[in-house]
A = this chain, B = another copy of it.
Amino acid sequence: MAGWGSETHMPHSPTVEKLEKQFEELRSQLEDSGKLRERIRAVAMEIESATRLMHSSLLLIHHSRSISDILEKVKQQIGVLRELYNKLAEIIRECPDQYYRYHADWKSETQTVVSLLSFIHWLETGTLLVHTDAEEKLGLNPTEFGLDIEDYLIGICFMSNELPRYVVNQVTAGDYECPRKVLKFLTDLNAAFRMLNLRNDFLRKKFDGMKYDLRRVEEVYYDVKIRGLAANRESAGKEGDP
């Protein structure tokens, strides 16, 4: 067993000095990545704060029919989000190739952002916000700092979770057309998701939850139909605008 010979009882033998030197370097590197992470977390918390405001405003949609006013207010925060994602991208630019090293630090917030943007988009257009449009809305440059596909899909699942409640409240407010529209949207979305081979366990679980959203909306639609509430509107809808 060679090597022991160089060991002495002095507190700062060459061996110990080498050890200390390496740990000094590691300390510095860990410190650097730790500080970077703190900066990222600070921005992520600002994103979280902005989404909380958006969510709070957007919730009014459940008990109001003046959607456009509400959306106008909510959409003001999108500019804030753009700036914050721009900040994030700048930080990541400092450590090329390490997007996924720090990804866990903003992914949950980003999933919420996607859920809000896609809900707004659906309220405005009745269609799904696609991945590239979500990136564009956030001012993301996909070659540099893109929107992770799984974050996008999980955000869409979260959006779906909002829809049953929206349908119930719309019907309560007298909009008997809403269940059919939402049902159509969710049915197509479910069929689309089923095309995917979901190996990500979290995403798979969220998708399982989406199936309950669909069923809940079907039940509401059923209630409306069986009571003959949708009847007139439907025939009207079939003529032109649904």
Interface of A toward B, CB cutoff 8 Å: 1-9, 11, 15-16, 18-20, 22-24, 26-27, 29-31, 34, 37, 49, 52-53, 55-57, 59-60, 62-64, 66-67, 96-101, 103, 123-128, 130-131, 149-150, 152-153, 165, 168-169, 171-172, 174, 181, 183-184, 187-199, 215, 218-227, 229, 238, 241-242
Q: Contacts A30-B149, A149-B30 hold; do A183 and B63 have CB atoms under 8 A apart?
A: yes
B226 A3 Cβ-Cβ under 8 A: no
Query: Contact at A131–B26, with CB atoms within 8 Å?
Result: yes
A4: chain B residues at CB < 8 Å are 126, 181, 241-242
Q: Report yes or no: A187 in contact with B100, Cβ–Cβ below 8 A.
A: no
Q: Kindly name the residue among A127, A193, A229, A241 whose own CB sees the greatest number of chain B CB atoms within 10 A.
A: A127
Question: 5 tightest CB-CB pairs across the interface, nearest first?
Answer: A3-B125, A56-B194, A4-B242, A100-B100, A100-B101
> Which B-chain residue is minimally distant from A179 (CB atoms)?
B172
Instruction: Verify B52–A197 contact, CB threshold 8 A.
Output: yes
A16 to B143 CA separation, bound complex (whole angstroms): 28
| Cross-chain contact of A165 among B9, B16, B100, B218 (Cβ < 8 A) | B218
Quick check: B187 and A63 within 8 Å, CB to CB? yes
**Choice from B53, B62, B96, B225 contacting A97 with Cβ under 8 Å:** B96
CA of A130 to CA of B96, assembled, Å:
25
Complex: A62 Cα to B130 Cα, angstroms: 25
Judging by beta carbons under 8 Å apart, are B172 and A19 in contact? no
Q: A23-B192, A59-B194, A62-B187 are in contact. Are A126 and B3 (CB under 8 A)?
A: yes
Question: Which of B56, B127, B192 contacts A3 (CB under 8 A)?
Answer: B127
Closest to A121 in B: B3
Shortest distance in angstroms between A217's beta carbon and chain B's nearest beta carbon? 11
Known A-B contacts: A15-B126, A30-B199. Give 4 more (CB < 8 A).
A7-B181, A19-B188, A34-B197, A97-B97
Report the bound CA distance from A164 to B29 in whole Å. 30
Take A125-B2, A126-B7 as given contacts and tell me if A34 and B149 are in contact as well, using a CB distance cutoff of 8 Å: no
- Whether the Cβ atoms of B226 and A11 lie closer than 8 Å is no
Question: Does the CB pair B153–A26 fall under 8 Å?
Answer: yes
A184 touches B7 (CB 8 A): yes
Q: Are A67 and B1 in contact (CB under 8 A)?
A: yes
Please report the C-alpha to C-alpha distance between residue A22 and residue B196 in the assembled complex, in whole angstroms: 11
